[in-house]
Amino acid sequence: MEHAIYLATLIGTGLVVAAAFSSLIAFRFGAPLLLLFLGIGLATGVDGLGITFDNANVAYFVGSLALAVILFDSGFGTPLKVLRQAAGPALSLATIGVVLTTAVFGAAAFYLLDLNWLESFLLGASVASTDAAAVFFLLRAGEINLRERVRSTLEVESGTNDPIAIFLTITLVEVIAAGANPEAPVLLADLALGFVLNMGLGAAVGIVGGMAIVRLVDRLNLDHGLLPIFVLTLSLMVFAAAGAVGGSGFLAVYLAGLVAGNSDIRAVTILKRFQDGMSWLAQIIMFLVLGLFATPSQFPTILLPAILLGLFLIFVARPLAVWLCLLPFRLPRPEVAFVSWVGLRGAVSILLAITPLLGGLEHGRMIFNAAFIIVLVSLVVQGWTVGPLARRLGLIVPARIGPLDKVELELPGSAHHELLAYRVVAGSPVARGERIPRWARPSLVVRDGRSMRFQDMGRLQAGDNVYIFVPDRYPRLIDKLFASRAVVDPEDADFFGAFAVDPARPAEELELAYGPGLTEEERKLTIGGLVTERLDGHAEYADRVSLGSIELIVRDVDDKGRITSLGLSFEPTAPVARVPVFLSGGELFDRIAGFIRNLRKPTKSPTPPEDKVAESASDEVARKPDDAQQPA
């Protein structure tokens, strides 16, 4: 017995270590990390090294707990700014998009597999949600700096679409297991009512649970070593409580993390570090368990139809659902195309495919095997192409700042200040003599192993370690002061234009100099206000507005989204790569989007399409800065 315990521990820890080492390979070659984890599980399973694991209940239980940990960390790390910025498109994708994907994919599954309609829709619901972990690992591994709007949309969608898919999957399993054959209107009505109750109760428990976590952490004087475990346990209690009362535990735990992460919770730095590690461990365990549970020798019987369904999901079902969901939000076609393509399926889809086995369905094993193959197809086809596609569609933007060496230190007894430790980087503004603002209080400088007061150090030098007290909501200015210059790729050398433009100057000067045909209302605006209006009221870093032979480029915005710096380029932008019709709707998308714009603005003259808008700027409002190629 004792020997068996040691052997099981050795095997389990060995698998985790192998998975951790595989991440180095993924970072080096940009491979989909989930694919490596699943591969390790398959290689050690019954058809590999011979480890037999076929307990569906244990696999589902372990996977559910791991997913709850991942969702809490995802919510904890999502700022409200990101949520507000992408709430409309992301929530549309997470709700309507999941339902549309289920319906379209289910119809194809009915004709390609030996399943009835309900079982086909069950398979569709299982693979309807996306896997955020795989996507964002690829973005980090490839050092891909995506446009903020696209990244925010993908983050929020991935954190909120799992509960919808889980609800649909479990409901369909219960309906099929009961042997009922309800009429479509009755089934839809029951689904709608159950959905409202499930999501409503889950949201209520999650919000209340998140507030309770914050209050308990602030009131209880727990040791810093115990505090992260206490918070993790409370999050799992929220997950279980929501499920016990009939709500969505996964939605509840995500919202609890969202509430806690955006509150002035104590020891936030310690909590983030612990949860980041626990999230990695949860992903590894979940992927390995699901890989062990699969039986590859059963795949050949449904391999061809499952591969076809995987391709159908990638090229038809997902793009169609994304196009319809994002139609009202007027996103540019390249962004719609990228969101359509980055719909990687992952561990959640495999986890949900276990539920037919738990329900004792006749074709449960077929549904699980099909879902597993579809996930592998998605990771192989899409997982290697995320970075190249983002570059091809022009969604990569230069980094705001260069390398930064910073450590955040938690201050005991203080919930509103942090102690930041910076290493002065060569070429950074402070190394060039820039002063640190008054509201930041440098307390100590370590130079060549000697500790001295900041007042006695004189000018900071490269390699100095500086310790600064700042409010916990400190501006980005401190990071910019201690960061080196951002290294701009030669292909992006002219990204921000050769000239700087004062966004506070009147837009009428543009009309007088170049005559781009601004309306009377537009002439009364500032140049920054004109750019913001042309961008539908929301400007973000690296946005571009074409004005005939020139372009205005947003170099920077403040915390409130107001443009603080603009660039001007006299060089026409290189033509953006053609977007495949199946990813963005093609010409039909443009026509329908234009029709909706006219409905939304009936009192204004029609706005020309974005690629035909003509704007320009005058020499009087353009000036050549010293660092013309760098964002302000």
Domains and CATH numbers, the chain: 2-41+56-194+284-392 (1.20.1530.20), 405-482 (3.30.70.1450), 490-623 (3.30.465.10)
Predicted confidence band of residue 631 (pLDDT cuts 50, 70, 90)? very low
Give the pLDDT score at 620. Answer: 42
Q: What phi and psi, each to the nearest 5 degrees, are found at residue 409?
A: -115, 130
Contacts 24+ apart (CB under 8 A), 365-370: 365/298, 366/113, 366/114, 366/115, 366/302, 367/115, 367/119, 367/122, 367/123, 367/126, 368/294, 369/294, 369/295, 369/298, 369/299, 369/302, 369/306, 370/109, 370/113, 370/123, 370/302, 370/305, 370/306, 370/309
**317 vs 461, more confident:** 317
Distances (CA, A) of 42 to 51, 135, 371, 372, 493: 10, 22, 15, 11, 46
* DSSP result, 164-209: HHHHHHHHHHHHHHTT----HHHHHHHHHHHHHHHHHHHHHHHHHH
Tokens of 526: 């500032």
192-206, 331-345, 473-487, 512-526, range with the lowest pLDDT:
473-487
Dist CA 129 CA 167 (whole Å): 11
Give the pLDDT score at 489. Answer: 54
**Mean pLDDT within 513-525:** 77
* Confidence check: pLDDT of 565 > 60: yes
* Confidence check: pLDDT of 434 > 90: no
Give the pLDDT score at 344. Answer: 86
Give the pLDDT score at 415. Answer: 53
- For residue 480, give the 3-state DSSP assignment: helix
**Mean pLDDT within 87-94:** 91
Give the pLDDT score at 108. Answer: 96
**480 vs 515, more confident:** 480
Dist CA 548 CA 617 (whole Å): 10
Which runs of consecutive H residues, i.e. helices, occur in 77-183? Answer: 80-92, 98-112, 117-126, 132-141, 148-177
Q: Which of 224, 211, 220 is nearest to 260 (CA)?
A: 211
- For residue 299, give the 3-state DSSP assignment: helix
**Mean pLDDT within 492-506:** 75
**Mean pLDDT within 342-355:** 90
Give the pLDDT score at 139. Answer: 61
* Confidence check: pLDDT of 345 > 80: yes
**426 vs 487, more confident:** 426
Sheet holding 544-547, edge to edge: 544-547, 550-557, 563-569, 499-501, 622-623
Predicted confidence band of residue 10 (pLDDT cuts 50, 70, 90)? confident
Give the pLDDT score at 106. Answer: 95
Sheet holding 417-423, edge to edge: 405-409, 417-423, 465-471, 441-447, 450-452
Express as a percent the part of the chain with pLDDT over 70: 78
Residue 200 neighbours by CB under 8 Å, 6+ apart: 247
Q: What is the mean pLDDT of the chain?
A: 80
Give the pLDDT score at 416. Answer: 59
- For residue 99, give the 3-state DSSP assignment: helix
Give the pLDDT score at 594. Answer: 56
Predicted confidence band of residue 600 (pLDDT cuts 50, 70, 90)? very low
H or E element in which residue 539 lies: none
Predicted confidence band of residue 476 (pLDDT cuts 50, 70, 90)? low
Q: Indicate if the alpha-carbon torsion angle 614, 619, 625, 628 is positive or negative.
A: positive
Tokens of 109: 């599954």
**Residue 524: DSSP 8-state:** T
Q: For 107-140, how does the pLDDT look when each residue is reduced to its tens digit (9 = 90+)?
A: 999 999 999 999 999 999 999 998 866 666 666 6
**Mean pLDDT within 523-541:** 83
Pairing assessment for the beta strands 417-423 and 405-409 based on DSSP bridges: antiparallel
Residue 101 neighbours by CB under 8 Å, 6+ apart: 124, 127, 128, 313, 317, 318, 321
Per-residue burial over 14-25, b = 16 or more CB atoms within 10 Å of its CB, e = otherwise = ebeebbeebbee
* Confidence check: pLDDT of 199 > 50: yes
Q: Which of 619, 621, 615, 622 is nearest to 546 (CA)?
A: 615
Give the pLDDT score at 575. Answer: 46
Give the pLDDT score at 629. Answer: 39
49-63, 473-487, 523-537, range with the lowest pLDDT:
473-487
Q: For 378-396, how does the pLDDT look when each residue is reduced to its tens digit (9 = 90+)?
A: 988 887 788 788 888 878 7
Give the pLDDT score at 560. Answer: 73
Give the pLDDT score at 582. Answer: 58
Give the pLDDT score at 34. Answer: 75
Q: What phi and psi, each to the nearest 5 degrees, are found at residue 499?
A: -125, 150
* Confidence check: pLDDT of 605 > 50: no
* Confidence check: pLDDT of 437 > 80: no
Q: For 618-629, how does the pLDDT look when each residue is reduced to its tens digit (9 = 90+)?
A: 344 444 444 433
**Mean pLDDT within 530-556:** 79
Contact 540, 557 (CB under 8 A): yes
- For residue 506, give the 3-state DSSP assignment: strand
* Confidence check: pLDDT of 467 > 80: yes
Give the pLDDT score at 439. Answer: 72
* Confidence check: pLDDT of 353 > 80: yes
373-382, 485-494, 606-615, range with the lowest pLDDT:
606-615
Give the pLDDT score at 583. Answer: 65
Helix, strand, coil percentages (3-state) for the chain, rounded to 5, are 60, 10, 30
594 residue type, one letter = G
**Mean pLDDT within 155-182:** 84
Give the pLDDT score at 213. Answer: 95
Give the pLDDT score at 352. Answer: 93
* Confidence check: pLDDT of 465 > 50: yes
Helix 33-44 vs helix 268-293: crossing angle, to nearest 10: 50
Residue 254 neighbours by CB under 8 Å, 6+ apart: 71, 72, 74, 75, 159, 160, 162, 163, 206
In the block, residue with structure tokens 């809490």: 72
Predicted confidence band of residue 408 (pLDDT cuts 50, 70, 90)? low
Residue 308 neighbours by CB under 8 Å, 6+ apart: 112
Predicted confidence band of residue 428 (pLDDT cuts 50, 70, 90)? confident
**Mean pLDDT within 232-241:** 96
Contact 511, 525 (CB under 8 A): no
Give the pLDDT score at 401. Answer: 64
Q: For 262-318, how does the pLDDT look when each residue is reduced to its tens digit (9 = 90+)?
A: 987 877 878 888 998 898 888 888 888 988 999 999 999 999 999 999 999 999 999
